[in-house]
Amino acid sequence: MEDAWDIAWLLIQLWISVVVFLIMLPAMCGASLGVTEMYIKVLVKTLEWATLRIQRGQRDQLRVQAQFSNGIIQKEDGSMEEEIGELRRCWPRSVAGGEFALCDAFYFCRKGIESIVEDEVTQRFTSEELASWNLLTRTNNNFHYISVRVTIIWGLGLIVRYCVLAPLRITLALIGLSWLVIGTTLVGLLPRSSGKNWLSDLIHLTCYRICARGLSATVRYHNRENRPKKGGICVANHTSPIDVVILANDGCYAMVGQVHGGLMGVLQRSMLKSCPHIWFERSEMKDRHAVANRLKAHIADKTKLPIMIFPEGTCINNTSVMMFKKGSFEIGGTIHPVAIKYDPQFGDAFWNSGKHNMVSYLLRMMTSWAIVCNVWYLPPMTRQEGEDAVHFANRVKSTIARQGGLVDLSWDGGLKREKVKETLKEEQQKMYSSMVVG
């Protein structure tokens, strides 16, 4: 019995040594021993081999996959007037301008059916489809075959992800969050000074680096000379809650958000003691004037950290950028756009909040292969003379979408939880009535 306890204690010591000396300490120093990079290379080779095996097993299906498009429905890029005009040309009786034709109803029926089957908005609130299987649970609609060897590799991967990687990542996450709470609480006891700010930045940075290493995150930062400066506003597209970890892994930011309870509330209160984060009560969030005043006061102080804001207001899948709320662009200051693009081959970073709660989402992240993404720091942008907040927000959004290779959509991400606004319906009605009236 004593021998068994000795072996268990030896394994625990070995586990702690690996976590602390080979992962945690290099992560805190911003260094890497190259293990993650080697792991990613092995993953790429394994996924390439699995794809070839699947394609060899079903060459007929490969031809079908090569032909399918991004959408189920083949749509034409034309205006309402052009498409209705095409319908009217096929109508037996000629229709003069300013008249109503019964065939016009076919246009609206078709558009309604297309929206029910597949529209460009609701697609952004579901996980993006993959061209080939990544040996995780998710696959695409055209995949039906798994060879015996691929199935064996999938089983071995399941054991590695759940029995080795998941415990290791959970351990690192607990260490990182505990270090954040304890460190920021202790620093909060110090008087306000430049030394306190330096310690606070160090604790935040090391904590996020440990958490990033706990996700096996491999992040490539581009154009780092454009990193957000103090007194500015960092604006980025939003795919996942771990966007915060990805960005804060390379620099310190002041967070903006609503006050929460539970574990999240503990983290918020401890972080606020050492750094001027901006947390709002639920009643304050509804007061746009109060929110704007607090943000303006923050960016007016050039010694404070840049504010990190996700203007979409909700998580959008890794394919698009949706409407930016104008509030962040009304307060003035310099906007530092940042584009984030995840590689879906190694894991689905998108958080579908309607399907998974935060805990289950984080467990999915910790049992995926890895988190691989690119981050582009774009040149700072300011509001031009005579430009309103809406046009400025759209200009910043287009810049982020273009750099990240994302689809630029004007729809509000709030449609994830709300119905279409009446004003959008009225806009379509006005377009048709103006065409009929001539």
Residue 41: band (very low, low, confident or very high) from pLDDT cuts 50, 70, 90: confident
The answer, as to whether pTM is greater than 0.85, is: no
Neighbours of 93 (CB within 10 A): 9
d(CA 408, CA 120): 11
pLDDT band with cut points at 50, 70 and 90 for residue 67: very low
Indicate the average pLDDT of the chain: 78
Q: What is the 3-class SS of 17-73, one letter each residue?
A: HHHHHHHHHHHHCCCCCCHHHHHHHHHHHHHHHHHHHHHHHCHHHHHHHHHCCCCCC
Q: Can you give the pLDDT at residue 68?
A: 42
pLDDT at 286: 63
Q: Compute the average pLDDT of residues 151-160.
A: 86
Mapped onto helix, strand or coil, the DSSP state of residue 278 is strand
Which residues partner with 45 through β-bridges? none
CA 334 to chain centre: 23
**Segment 213-261, tens digit of pLDDT:** 888 888 999 999 999 988 889 999 999 888 999 999 888 898 887 777 7
Q: Which distant-in-sequence residues (6+ apart) come within 8 Å of 297 by Cβ?
A: none
Q: Is residue 398 a contact partner of residue 339, using CB atoms and an 8 Å limit?
A: no
User: Residue 66: its pLDDT value, please?
Assistant: 43
Using one digit for the tens of pLDDT, what is the confidence trace for 98-142? 566 666 666 777 766 666 556 666 667 677 767 677 777 654 444
Residue type, 399: T
